[in-house]
């Protein structure tokens, strides 16, 4: 795919949704961090239901740490893998209090040192909370990048690096959200909704299927 096509793809995505946002509910960088940790192998809807119960009671590192693993588990037990997530969140809260003054770090090294925080989670926090030009490649972004031809790659890191290189600079800060939403609601896994897609004429998947 050439640069002109990529530019037009993101121009249209921006036109349709000028201010894209994560579908996770949060009001502070800390709430976002916790929500993203909880979202591993879980839906945003499920996480939002749990945090709607949790955050009014405890939404700071100090308050959640005070709940302890068992106390926190009561709020998040509707989410998959809640036992291991509770342990990670409690330990993360301890580190934030002891090493970072209760604040969420705005750099990758410190974020990835937190339990339950890998590269993808760190990228989400850096991009969404701190507006840094990072690209958190989840299953949706990986699929859309490969299927459309925007940034094909064999693994998530390869796709991430290509997106950072190929996405037009003016659109890089919001590209993560546009691609996730596109994959979630239009370019779906089993049956992409090509007829309802704003970038259908620019997509290499459509071109390939038309040629077959």
Dist. CA 201–CA 195, nearest whole Å: 10
C-alpha distances in Å from residue 74, one per residue of 37, 50, 64, 67: 16, 10, 12, 10
Q: Show the tokens assigned to 30.
A: 């800390």
Q: Which residues are catalytic?
A: 120, 138
Dist. CA 48–CA 119, nearest whole Å: 22
Phi, psi of 79 (to 5 degrees): -100, 140
Q: Are 25 and 51 in contact (CB under 8 A)?
A: yes
Please calculate the CA angle 171-173-174 and round it to the nearest 5 degrees.
75
- How many Cβ atoms from other residues are within 10 Å of residue 127's Cβ? 21
Dist. CA 115–CA 146, nearest whole Å: 30
């Amino acid at each position: 795919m050439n640069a002109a096509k990529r530019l037009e793809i993101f121009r249209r995505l921006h036109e349709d949704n000028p201010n894209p946002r994560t579908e996770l509910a949060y009001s502070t960088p800390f709430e976002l961090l916790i929500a993203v940790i909880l979202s591993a192998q879980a839906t945003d809807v499920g996480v939002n239901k749990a945090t709607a119960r949790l955050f009014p009671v405890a939404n700071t590192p100090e308050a959640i740490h005070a709940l302890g693993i068992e106390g926190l588990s009561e709020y998040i037990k509707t989410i998959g893998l809640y036992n291991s997530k509770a342990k990670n969140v409690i330990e993360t809260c301890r580190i934030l209090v002891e090493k970072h003054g209760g604040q969420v770090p705005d750099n990758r090294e410190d974020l990835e040192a937190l339990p339950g925080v890998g590269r993808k989670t760190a990228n989400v926090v850096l991009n969404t909370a701190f507006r840094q030009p990072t690209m958190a490649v989840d299953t949706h972004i990986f699929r859309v990048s490969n299927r459309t031809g925007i940034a094909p790659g064999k693994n998530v890191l390869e796709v991430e690096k290509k997106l950072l290189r190929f996405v037009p600079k003016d659109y890089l800060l919001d590209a993560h959200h546009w691609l996730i939403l596109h994959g979630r609601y239009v370019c779906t896994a089993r049956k992409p909704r090509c007829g309802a897609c704003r970038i259908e004429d620019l997509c290499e998947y459509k071109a390939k299927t038309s040629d077959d």
